[in-house]
Amino acid sequence: MEPAPVSLRQLPSVDRLLQTEAAQALVQDFGRSLTLQALRARLEAARDSIREGGALPETLELLAQTREALHGWLVPTLRPVINATGVILHTNLGRAPLSAAAQAAAQAAAAGYGTLEFDLPRGTRGKRDLHAEGLLTHLVGAEAALVVNNNAAAVLLALTGLARRKEVLVSRSQLIEIGGGFRIPEIMQQSGAKLREVGTTNRTHLQDFQAGLSERTALILRVHHSNFRILGFTAEPGLDELAQLARQHGLPLLDDLGSGALLDTAQFGLGHEPTVQESLRAGASLVAFSGDKLLGGPQAGLLVGDRDWIDRLRRHPLARALRPDKLCLAALSATLLHYLREEALEQIPVWRMIAAGAEQQRERALAWQAALGAGEVLESRSTVGGGSLPEETLPTWVLALQARSPDSLAARLREGELPVIARVEQDRVLLDPRTVLAGQDEPLLAVVKSARAAEE
């Protein structure tokens, strides 16, 4: 005989479920309102399943699933991880880790009240602009500076504030897209400025910019290529030539540097990443760069340059909408101080990782190998990332773990309390010490041990 079809009425009501001990425990752990939400959702799903011919769930099973759902709702999605990929400015992993001083400054700003917009001697309203911007101008030798939420916002603000309803000249070789949907033509459209492409994909000359100028031109834009490179038969005018042209016509030249290094990357065997100081020296009216790329600070967009242009941007209503918060300003100021005190290479994690030699990585990889009694220590390459220095790498040593399924081992490494993010290359799981912070060796080894045991 066929089993009798299950009736929806056989499902317990929310009220009946709530009288069970297991449901009372849920209310204890997750609160009444959220528990009710989860119970209703669970019952709804059970109804759907019964309508499709499913069995009547056990009450205890229903409650266990509800607990799991509640746990899933509340477990944080933004969690710390160990970055063993060897990509220093890993955008998906939050780019730059902050220095100890920057962390402490952000914590102090978060914990209480402060002089965000307060003039202490006078006891009157002060300026938010004062904090990081004073340090920035000292550091790069610019007349003025402005801090916003991120570099995309800095570029958007500059284009909106200076070129809305007018034209912006930019080389066809620089109409880039970088990660996260930042595309020059789209930012341009959003700003209300009209993109006027000049030159060709591989070669653009100063004459192309000259020919593109008209009474509608409001700004000349140069964009760092960031994550790609043009090789072969190529040409772009120098920044100094563009700056001269812009000045002759009373126009601002905006240099979107992207990463915006303040120190020379070439001293560590990498290519030369253009510095903010070089752009200013070449005559850029405004330089835009990120706070959390090679600067090594919190997410922010930094604009430095001529006071007239910066002041116009500061007064623009969009500047208010894009302004940084106190945590950002505290961490940014502390980061900038490292440069002013000439201790950036020692204090800023990003620069410490760039400056660290291969031998240091080898010793750490060997220590991991000894602790695990497994893996091979191999030469490999770390990358800087963050849209800076494409194709450039730093020599490193990694611990390479063999596994029946490297993807499955890598997945297990991501399952721990403190997930470890590794690289899979040629059927091996690679762990690069360069991006594993000091003090993370122990937790990393614990995660690797249990992941390997689970794979057995």
Ligand X SMILES: *Cc1c(COP(=O)(O)O)cnc(C)c1O
Residues near ligand X, by CB under 6 A? 150-152, 155, 178, 182, 223-224, 226, 256, 258-259, 290, 301, 387
Smallest distance, ligand X to C-beta of residue 187, A:
8
Smallest distance, ligand X to C-beta of residue 185, A:
13
- Cα separation, 68 vs 61, in Å, equals 11
The pair of three-digit structure tokens given for residue 406, joined into one six-digit string: 């490297």
Smallest distance, ligand X to C-beta of residue 266, A:
19
The nearer residue to ligand X, 258 or 433, going by C-beta atoms, is 258
**DSSP-based three-state secondary structure for 261:** strand
The nearer residue to ligand X, 254 or 430, going by C-beta atoms, is 254
The nearer residue to ligand X, 157 or 448, going by C-beta atoms, is 157
Smallest distance, ligand X to C-beta of residue 442, A:
33
**DSSP-based three-state secondary structure for 404:** coil
Strands in 259-392 per DSSP E: 286-290, 301-305, 376-385
The structure tokens 């955008």 sit at 91
Which amino acid is it at 132?
A
Separation of first and last alpha carbons in the chain: 46
The nearer residue to ligand X, 294 or 398, going by C-beta atoms, is 294
For ligand X, the nearest residue by Cβ is 258
The nearer residue to ligand X, 88 or 401, going by C-beta atoms, is 88
The pair of three-digit structure tokens given for residue 347, joined into one six-digit string: 């204090």
Smallest distance, ligand X to C-beta of residue 292, A:
7
Per the CB < 8 A criterion, the answer to whether 306 and 252 are in contact is: yes
Smallest distance, ligand X to C-beta of residue 232, A:
22
- Cα separation, 420 vs 431, in Å, equals 9
The nearer residue to ligand X, 86 or 385, going by C-beta atoms, is 385
- Cα separation, 6 vs 14, in Å, equals 18
Phi, psi torsion values for 196, nearest 5 degrees: -120, 100
Smallest distance, ligand X to C-beta of residue 275, A:
14
The nearer residue to ligand X, 290 or 380, going by C-beta atoms, is 290
Per the CB < 8 A criterion, the answer to whether 454 and 412 are in contact is: yes
